[in-house]
Amino acid sequence: MKNSFLQKTLLAVFAIMLLTNCKSQSAKSSANLEVSDKLKWSERLAQTLMKKHPNAYQIDEKKEPKWDYVHGLVMSSFEQLYKKTNNQAYFDYIKGYYDSTINEDGSIPSYKLENYNIDMLAAGNALFFIYDKTKEDKYLKALQTLRSQLEKHPRTSEGGFWHKKVYPNQMWLDGLYMGSPFYAQYTSKFENGKNFDDIAKQFEVIQKHLVDPKTGLLYHGWDESKQMGWANKETGTSPNFWSRSLGWYAMALVEVLDFMPENHPKHKELVAYFNQLADALKKQQHSSGLWYQVTDQGDRKGNYLEASGSAMFAYSFAKGANKGYLPKEYKKVAEKAFDGMTKNLVKVTPEGYVIITEACAVAGLGGNPYRDGSYEYYINERKQDNDPKATGPFILAALELNK
């Protein structure tokens, strides 16, 4: 009897030690890093994040592991950083995030499929890479769960995915990044590319309803029912252009093109959308290289040069030029943007930590408290230093530009 109790106790202690050891692997890797000014910007910022958040789930000041698109974005930047440097610490950091959020049976405790929230798919983008490297079944099951969301995800009458079940009949530019690169990677890897037409349809619906004929920019959101207070009663669009939402859209295009074969009939169409967007954005670039929070409103009172949108454009243009989707001149547009960030929005602490300032923390439409999409609304949302929507794209831009 005593032996049996002792065995059970030892097994329980062993299990706890094993779990603690798994969770602390990435934390140990973080502790051994020194943030040096001899490193390139990508690694300096990545190592700053690892020092400040030893476990990747702690990004965005989270106290518990949470399945979230902001972590997905940063993990995608760490994936590219690992591929460039082969530094095991970066791999451990990504794997640590997925091990903290995915159970051994492949379930994701903090994810609720029935919410039909398109944001949740973006957290799976770097999971393909972890599955490829480890071949662990739990990662594949998690990917399959995320993919199953799209089978019943509610859509507009033309087949565009709603942003969330709680935002009926609405598509936001953000949602194109949240769902399309995941969908494209999945259909390319596991479905022989059979759903590329459906992915292209998402962009087609956006282009049809959200492009402003005057500026070529795209509005933040569109309500097919035209019932929302923020929606134009004739077009259904929201009233303003928000740089980060345009950044999400640019990144969606450049990343989907990674997976869609060049000979696919929709490939040229997406490249054309990307060029049209790039042309419209280039006209709005400030002399510093940056873009304003409300993209077309210049130095109107309260408007400011914003970090996350600027970083997203720098990354998208650099990658677009590198891949040949955009003319070569966009590499220079991206370089100007990146240099504008390092000169105007980046601070380096005495310890060498890299801090990106002037990043809008969050912005949306509708909800409670209600967000009306007005100019005053966008300029008054809070800012957050090293917001993950700025840090992830900054690392990606630095890698594309080899800065």
The residues carrying an active-site annotation are 174
**Phi, psi values for residue 252, rounded to 5°:** -60, -45
User: Rounded distance, CA 77 to CA 125, Å?
Assistant: 10
The answer to whether the CB of 231 falls within 8 A of the CB of 248 is no
The pairs formed by 143-148 with CB atoms below 8 angstroms and a separation of 24 or more are 143/186, 144/106, 145/106, 145/107, 145/108, 145/111, 145/113, 146/111, 146/120, 146/121, 146/182, 146/186, 147/183, 147/186, 147/190, 148/113
Q: Is 213 exposed, middle or buried (0-12, 13-18, 19+ CB in 10 A)?
A: exposed
Are the C-beta atoms of residues 150 and 89 closer than 8 Å to each other? Answer: no
As a whole number of angstroms, the distance between CA 188 and CA 153 comes to 20
Contact assessment for residue 49 and residue 59, using Cβ atoms and an 8 Å cutoff: yes
Cβ 383 vs Cβ 359: under 8 Å: yes
How many CB atoms sit inside 10 A of residue 25's CB?
Answer: 17
Residue type, 147: R
Of 321, 309, 338, whose CA–CA distance to 274 is shortest?
321
SS3 call for 147? helix
CA distance 344 to 272: 32
